[in-house]
Amino acid sequence: MKRMTRRFPKVTAASVLLGLSLGAGVGFAATQVSALVPHVFSAGTPIKASEINANFAALAQGVQDAKANGLPAQSGKAGAYLKTDGTSASWSVAPGPNVELQVVNNVGQNIPSLFGSTTFDTLRFSGGNNPQATLTGGNSWNGTLFRVGAGGAGWYEIDAQVVGVAATSGAVSAVGVGFYLDKNATNAPATAQYRSTFDSSTFSAVLKNHSTVHAYLYLAPGDTVEFKGQSWSTTLAANISADGSTSLTIIKIK
User: In CATH, what number is assigned to the domain containing residue 226?
Assistant: 2.60.120.40
Give me the half-sphere count of Cα atoms (radius 13 Å) on the Cβ side of residue 125.
28
Instruction: Look up the pTM and report it.
Output: 0.62
Q: For 165, phi and psi rounded to 5 degrees?
A: -135, 165
Predicted local distance difference test score (pLDDT) of residue 171: 47
> From the centroid of its chain, how far is CA 81?
13
3, part of any domain: no
Gap between the terminal Cα atoms of the chain? 88
Strands (DSSP E) contained in 121-234 are 121-122, 140-141, 146-147, 154-165, 177-183, 197-199, 210-219, 224-231
Buried b (16+ CB within 10 A) or exposed e, 95-130: eeebbbbbbbbbebbebebbeeeeebbebbbbbeee
| 3 state SS of 213 | strand
The residue among 216, 99, 219 whose CA lies nearest residue 149 is 219
Same domain as 121, residue 48: no
Q: Which domain holds residue 122?
A: 98-252
Same domain as 173, residue 109: yes
133, part of any domain: yes
Same domain as 193, residue 130: yes
Which of 55, 70, 85 terminates a domain? The answer is 70
Q: How many residues does the chain have?
A: 254
Distance of alpha carbon 253 from alpha carbon 150, whole angstroms: 17
Predicted local distance difference test score (pLDDT) of residue 223: 97
The residue among 235, 125, 127, 116 whose CA lies nearest residue 178 is 116
177, part of any domain: yes
Same domain as 135, residue 51: no
Amino acid letter, 84? T
Angle, helices 13-23 vs 49-69, to 10°: value is 70
State the sign of the Cα–Cα–Cα–Cα dihedral 108, 109, 110, 116.
negative
Count of structural domains within the chain: 2
118, part of any domain: yes
Is there a contact between 95 and 254 (Cβ–Cβ < 8 Å)?
yes
Predicted local distance difference test score (pLDDT) of residue 62: 72
* Positions in the chain whose pLDDT score sits under 70: 1-35, 65-79, 93-95, 115-116, 166-174, 199-208
The residue among 2, 21, 3, 5 whose CA lies nearest residue 13 is 21
The residue among 249, 223, 227 whose CA lies nearest residue 152 is 223
Same domain as 150, residue 42: no
Q: For 63, phi and psi rounded to 5 degrees?
A: -65, -45
